[in-house]
Amino acid sequence: MSAIAITFIILILLAGGGGAFYYYSTLAEKAQAADKAASAQSKDGLPPIYLDLEPAFIVNFEHKDTLRYLQANFSVMARDQAVLDKVTLHMPAIRDRILILLSNKTYAELSGKARKEKLRLEILLEIRKIIGTSDTGHSVENIYITGYVMQ
């Protein structure tokens, strides 16, 4: 092999190694930033508490002249039991708002990861409007989609 070819191969290997180093070092930085964000969310040091919104939400909608349905399960997360007690107390109003929100969506609005994330945030805001904050200043911190079936 010629010296030019060997030099070229060495340069390619060095560039690849440098690129891999950069990728993995930025990946580690992103993971550390995510850990900092998670710890900032729990600044009170309280562990998360979850409450399932049961039973499952089932709504009908029409798509291309065919009747379809959505069955969805959600869980709310807070760090104060008083917040979840308020969710339980106001469950009929919360379920009503979620059912109305879901039934006003089209098939396109219920499909896809980005649209599900938007829906999740809309539901979170609706729950926060209903229950407000607890005496300690806490509210529902998050809502999770724990089941999602469209047919």
pLDDT above 70 covers a percentage of the chain that reads 77
Bridge-based pairing state of the strands 49-63 and 66-78: antiparallel
Query: What is the chain's length?
Result: 151
pTM of the model: 0.68
* Residues 21-78 pLDDT 10s: 665 566 556 545 544 544 445 556 889 999 999 999 999 887 888 888 999 999 999 9
| Phi, psi for residue 23 in degrees, rounded to 5 | -60, -50
Mean model confidence pLDDT for the chain: 83
Contact 61, 70 (CB under 8 A): yes
